[in-house]
Structure 1
Amino acid sequence: MRKDKRLTQEQLGSLVDLSATQIGKYERGENRMSATRFEQLLSVLGTEQPARPGFAEAQRAYHVPKFDLDGLARSLKTIRREVDRCLKIMADASA
């Protein structure tokens, strides 16, 4: 993308307050960049919103299903009863 815009690493770096060395490391995959830095670079390079790879999931609303607390409480009570039953069987067997 940088080369398509005919920018050197130095020129791109100066636009986003990074060194040419850091731009090179990003390009070679030697360093990871934050999502904020990625967005900043895309903005400077003039990339349109829909073309941003990997961020489609983050742009969609995420639905969190309602948690069934009553169902969880019932399950925990059942587990507790089974544990108590097993403990009683073990105590009776060792007596």
Structure 2
Amino acid sequence: MAKITFITTNNDVMEVEGSSGSVMELAVENNVPGIYGDCGGVCSCATCHVHVAPDDMAKVGEQGEIEKDLLDMNDCATEYSRLSCQIEVSDAIDGITLTVAEY
């Protein structure tokens, strides 16, 4: 079971827990504001864009090539950007903090 902390665009803090699926799916199931997942998790819309806390980057890993290309077109992307649909929920990411990106 992984516990994930989301910081919304209003600076509200939400903690959610899950054991499978993607972080985007978990966020949508728990009504995290600003995470929409319009494409259903196929890495084509960036409506699940988050900023990973710098200390947690090693836990979530690097962007995939398609994800990188999509984020390169996003004005709000930083070196800590990830699409939450591309992060799998597992014990390995327990305790991470993600800030929901502005659009």
TM-score (norm 2): 0.22
Higher share of residues assigned strand: 2
Give the structure-1-normalised TM-score: 0.23
Q: Larger Cα Rg: Structure 1 or Structure 2?
A: 1
